[in-house]
Amino acid sequence: MSEQTHDEQRSYYLVWSILGLLGLYVGFFALILLDELVFRTFYFSKFVPLGSEGEELLRTIYTPMLYLIELIT
């Protein structure tokens, strides 16, 4: 295996890892939206660890997504 293909393989792993993390971020946000807006079970609100501090943490983590939704609507 040449050095160039080894570097390419490492860069592919890095790109797929970043895409996977981004997919987890967006997927979890979609689950929260489904729970809160479609099914209205409020499962995440009821069972989030740390109570209201945990909700604030989730709100802080998903601020960019909430801002994008605000721009769309």
Is pLDDT above 70 for 3? no
For the chain, what is the mean pLDDT?
88
pLDDT at residue 67, rounded to an integer? 92
Note the pLDDT tens digit of each residue in 34-61.
998 899 998 888 887 777 888 888 889 9
CB 31, CB 57: distance < 8 Å: no
The three-point CA angle 63-65-69 to 5° equals: 115
Residue with tokens 């740390």: 50
- DSSP code at position 4: H
Q: Are 6 and 18 spatial neighbours (Cβ–Cβ below 8 Å)? A: no
**Taking 60 as the threshold, does the pLDDT of residue 31 lie above it?**
yes
Give the single-character DSSP code of 49. T
The proportion of the chain whose per-residue pLDDT surpasses 70, expressed as a percent, equals 95
Please tell me whether the overall predicted TM-score, pTM, comes out greater than 0.85 for this model: no
Distance CA 3, CA 7 (A): 6
